[in-house]
Structure formats: C-alpha cells, structure tokens
Structure 1
Amino acid sequence: MIKRYSVNKIEKIWDENNKLNVWLDVEKKVTFAWMKLNVISKEEYLLIDKNAKINIGRMLEIENETRHDVVAFTRAISETLGNEKKWIHLGLTSTDVVDTAQNKLIQESNEVVLESLINLKNTLKEKALIYKKTLTMGRSHGIYGEPTSLGLKFLLWFDEIDRQIERFSLARKQIEVAKISGSMGNYANLEFEIEEIVAEQMGLGIDNISTQVTQRDRHAFLISVFANIASTLEKIATEIRLFQRSEVKEWHEGFKANQKGSSSMPHKKNPISSENITGLSRYLRSFTNTAFENNVLWHERDISHSSNERIIFSDVFNVLVYTLDRLKNTLDDLVIDENKMLEHINSQFNVFYSQPILNYLLINCDKSREEIYDFIQKCTFETMNNKVDFKQSLINNGIEKYIDNIEVLNKLFNIDYFIRNVEKIYNRTLNK
C-alpha cells in the first residue's frame, strides 16, 4: 500500500517479518501438537520452541536456489536447530502453514476493522441524538418533499453500519480458521487432532473440510462484506458532498485555518474528504472480482490465487481502515447550518403540507381521491408560481367545498406533524 493510505496497525500486521514469524508460530504449534500425541519428545519440542528462528536474508538466498518460498523457509529454520530439525514441517504441506498464518493475520486485521467500525457507529449515534428534533427538508429524486428530522439521516446510517457489523461478524467466523489437513486435505499424513490442537493454540476456528487449501469462498465472502461496507461509506460521503454544494450549503466539511481549497481560486472550500472517501470506496469494491475468481482453482489446488493475495489483503485492510477512520473524522468535524436548513423550509411557502391536507380530506369528505388530489395539486402550483402561502392558496381556490370548518386548517399546518413519530423510530432502532 502506498504510504498516503497506509495504516500503521495494518502495516505492522502484514509486514514481511511479522508474516514469517506467524509462519514460524504455526510450525511450532504443529510440533507442540505432535508432542501432545507423543510423537515428539518434550525435550525436542522445547528445543524447537526456544531455538527455531527465521532469518529473511538467509531464506531469500535459499529461495534463489529452490524457487519455493516455503521450502526456503523450512530450510532456513532448520539451520538454527540441531537434530530436532527433522520434526519441522512433519506431515505438512505449504498451505497448511501459509493459509493458517494468513487467516491469523486476517483475524488480527479484522480486530482493527471492528474497532474502526464501532468508532464510526458511535459517531453516527451521537449525531443522531444531537439532531433528533432538528428539522430539515427531506428530498426524494433530489427534489424537496416534506420536512423531516435531520437526526434520522444519522440514525439510518447508524443502523446500516450495525448491519454491516453483523455481516462482518459472520464473515469473520468463516475466515478465521486453521487449516492443517495435509497435501490433499485428507489428513493422510497427519493425525486429525493436530489441527484441533493448533486451532485452539492460535485462537482460530477449524476448517472442517478443505483440499490442499482453505477454500476461497471464505475470503470472497469477507471481501464482499468489505465492498458492501464501502457502499455505505460512499453513500454517506455522497450525502455530505450534495449538501455542501453552493446551491445548498446546509452542511460542509470542517476547513482548517491554513487549509486551501484550490490552487487557483482562493475562495474555494471543496468537500475533499468526502471525495477521497468516494474514490477509495470504489477501489475497495474492485477487490471483489479478484476474490471471487480466486475461489476457482484446479483440482485440490493451484497457485493462481497466491500472487494476488500477497497484494490484495494488505491493500484491502489498509484502505478499509483508512476510509472508515477518515469518514469518522469528517463527521466529527462536520459543520451543519441549521439556519440554512430553516431558510430552505421557509422558502417553500408551506407547500409541503399537501399530503397531510390530502389525507385529511380523503378521510373527512366524500369526494373522490382524483378530485381532491387535482384540487390540491392546482393549489400547490399556484403557491410556488405566485409565491403565496399554501394555506392562502387553498382558501383562494375554494377549500370550503371540501371542509366544513375552515379553522381546522390551522391545526393541520403544524410543523411538528412531520416529526411526531420520530421518537418511536429512535426507540425501535436503538433498543432492537
């Protein structure tokens, strides 16, 4: 991952030294399991556990000859041991080590992802509670609809992130497994219990059935969940971008004292964070194609997946955590102009009461829906064309034909009507 979008915690996990140390840990855990089954003496295991080391430089020298990284790895380890070196890699195939270690690295990276997801979720909840009773113009198709609670926007995203965490939890369960089943996945050269012992020692689940590799549907599911998360991140970022437009200006990203918006136009304040999040979200979704194709391997295995996985896992975790954290920080610094939102509500001359009036007349007079709808629509057009209050347009056009008591109109024109059930939505969403 390029430095600009790398995350220190993720970089440390996928660092080559750390990866090889996890390979070594798998080898040691396997020798521990063989000791538990009385194949290796305790003394030999303790020597392996204490003395087995990996020297990357020496490993690379050997790999230049063997053209096989795991063979080079095991031989480099063996050079640090005495006669007990014969127990290294006993009964194993390369992917017993590589896939189990990789799944462990994924597990550690998933912990970082979860932390960032929870932080974003908490920020969205905080915003939802702050703006629960704040009115904003609701829009559909980009066009003014009716006033609604601004807090519902943040609550909606809070609930969506909560669902993403549920999906992520299931994907974690399926990918965070040990695979110690041998060359064909049939445990022919291993005892069944070896895998169980290694899994327990490493805090992983068990790959119940495999070939020479852990099946890549597990990886594809995880990355597809990440792609789904990315769609939510872009959804939020897009909303911020829409509200920051000059024609709207209800929200805008925080702008630091010495920040510049344009190299040529000093007046510009651009939604750069949201645009950055949008671009990286698109990049995140691009990983799904590779992940799904990796599930199609020849017979028990081939290595067509191996080359790209050396790149994509580090990249996908770096970009996901970076994007999650950047969105959280963007929301923390978000500036919301409540006066501008109120100005936009007032600019509509109360025309958004058209549906409450429609519903009231449908219930309380004997005219057809078509007649009532057409009458109200005519009044709304007059309201916006002549810039007169909607209530006055109704009166001017003869609302008394449809309503017995004209004073009822005053009660219908109540702005709190549009947020009368907001508390129930909050209770259902937060207490589910």
Structure 2
Amino acid sequence: QKGSSAMPHKRNPVLTENLTGLARMVRSFALPAMENVALWHERDISHSSVERMIGPDATVTLDFALSRLTSVIDRLLVYPDNMLKNMNKFRGLVHSQRVLLALTQAGVSREDAYRLVQRNAMKVWEQGADFFDELLADKEVTAALPEAEIREKFDLGYHTKYVETIFKRVFGEA
C-alpha cells in the first residue's frame, strides 16, 4: 500500500480508518433496534423484517471488525522513544491538567487555578520556556503547591499505572 499521494513519507492508517467505518455501521443498527421497541400492546410482524436484517448484518460486521482489529493489534508497531520525544516537544504542557487539579485540590479556586496554569503555559508557547521551571518560579503556584507535589504531577507513570491490571483483566494471568 502506498502512502499519501502528496506526502510519500506518510503511512495512511487504512485498516484503522476502515475499522472506524465498520464501528459506525454497527452503531447504526441501534436506531432500528430502538424503533422496534415502540409497541402499543402486542408484538406484530412489522418488527421481523428489521430483525432479520440487523441481527445477521450487525453480527457479521462486528465479527469482521474484530478480526481486522486483531490483525491490526498483532502487527502494531509502537515507537516509545518517538512518543516520548513528541511529548517532550511540549516542554511539560502535557501535565497542565494534573497541575490545574492539584491547585484546586489545594484550595485555589478553579478560576484562579486556571489563570495560574494558563499564565505559565503561555510562557512555554511564547518564549519556549519549560512549564515545570515556570511553575516553580511562580510564587502564587508555589504558595499553594510545594515543589515535590508539582514534580509528582509531571510523572508520566501516573497515566500508565493500571496498564498491567488492565492487561491481566483482558488477557488473563500471564
């Protein structure tokens, strides 16, 4: 398969784009199923034509989608170093939500916490500053959060702490 016609370096995610369309089709079967619920008293045969279509079509479509998804996952290439490099381009801004929530949990109003985080985030965008360093230099931020707590909000492990648990639930004990 070729990449983009205008960008030869690009890999088009054809299979996952197809999965998105298949998921859309499976979801579309919900509407006729819900329309079949509208009964006054007893069931009549107006529902059977819908059921004869959506049952098999939804099942076959879902089976194909799951088979394709399995194939995509089996062949999936992950580049953790590139992922980290891309996140680091934002100089810590990916952690802004956790800082915002920590400020509100420390008693800063939501409006003030937002203002503090945004003020420091804008320095990253406009001046190429480091978000963590800007937060530490901001007296209003450090009045509410000690350095250790700010540092903790920059721990990427927070976002992946349940990965092993999730894998065990999905795939069973290893």
Larger radius of gyration: 1
1:331 aligned residue (57, 69, 73): 73
Shift of 1:337: 2.1
**2:31 counterpart of 1:275:** no
Distance in 1 (alpha carbons) for counterparts of 2:37 and 2:142: 69
**2:105 counterpart of 1:359:** no
Higher helix share: 2
SS in 1 for 2:29: helix
1:422 aligned residue (148, 158, 161): 161
Q: Where does 1:211-360 land on structure 2 (aligned, <5 Å)? A: 259-261=1-3, 264=5, 267=8, 268-294=10-36, 303-354=45-96, 355-356=98-99, 359=102
Shift of 1:322: 0.8
Count of residue pairs brought into register by the alignment:
165
Cα-to-partner distance string for 1:323-358 (whole Å, 9 max, x where unaligned): 111112112222222122212221222245554487
Letter in 1 for 2:89: S
TM-score normalized by the length of structure 2: 0.63
2:133 aligned residue (381, 392, 404): 392
Gaps of 5+ in 2: none
Change (3 A) 1:307 1:343: same
Q: Where does 1:105-144 land on structure 2 (aligned, <5 Å)? A: none
SS in 2 for 1:388: coil
Change (3 A) 1:384 1:410: farther
SS in 2 for 1:380: helix
Cα-to-partner distance string for 1:11-30 (whole Å, 9 max, x where unaligned): xxxxxxxxxxxxxxxxxxxx
Letter in 1 for 2:72: T
Contact kept in structure 2, 1:287 and 1:316, CA below 8 Å = yes
Residue matched to 2:120: 379
Distance in 2 (alpha carbons) for counterparts of 1:278 and 1:384: 33
Gaps of 5+ in 1: 1-258
Distance in 1 (alpha carbons) for counterparts of 2:43 and 2:100: 67
Cα-to-partner distance string for 1:237-291 (whole Å, 9 max, x where unaligned): xxxxxxxxxxxxxxxxxxxxxx3346x5582521111221222222223333444
SS in 2 for 1:349: coil
Q: Aligned residues: percent identity?
A: 32
Residue matched to 1:409: 147
Letter in 2 for 1:380: A
Distance in 1 (alpha carbons) for counterparts of 2:159 and 2:36: 51
Change (3 A) 1:279 1:420: closer
Letter in 2 for 1:393: E
Distance in 1 (alpha carbons) for counterparts of 2:21 and 2:135: 48
Letter in 2 for 1:342: L
Shift of 1:321: 0.8
SS in 2 for 1:413: helix
Contact kept in structure 1, 2:19 and 2:68, CA below 8 Å = yes
Letter in 2 for 1:409: E
Distance in 2 (alpha carbons) for counterparts of 1:351 and 1:296: 50
Contact kept in structure 2, 1:357 and 1:412, CA below 8 Å = no
TM-score normalized by the length of structure 1: 0.30
Distance in 1 (alpha carbons) for counterparts of 2:18 and 2:140: 52
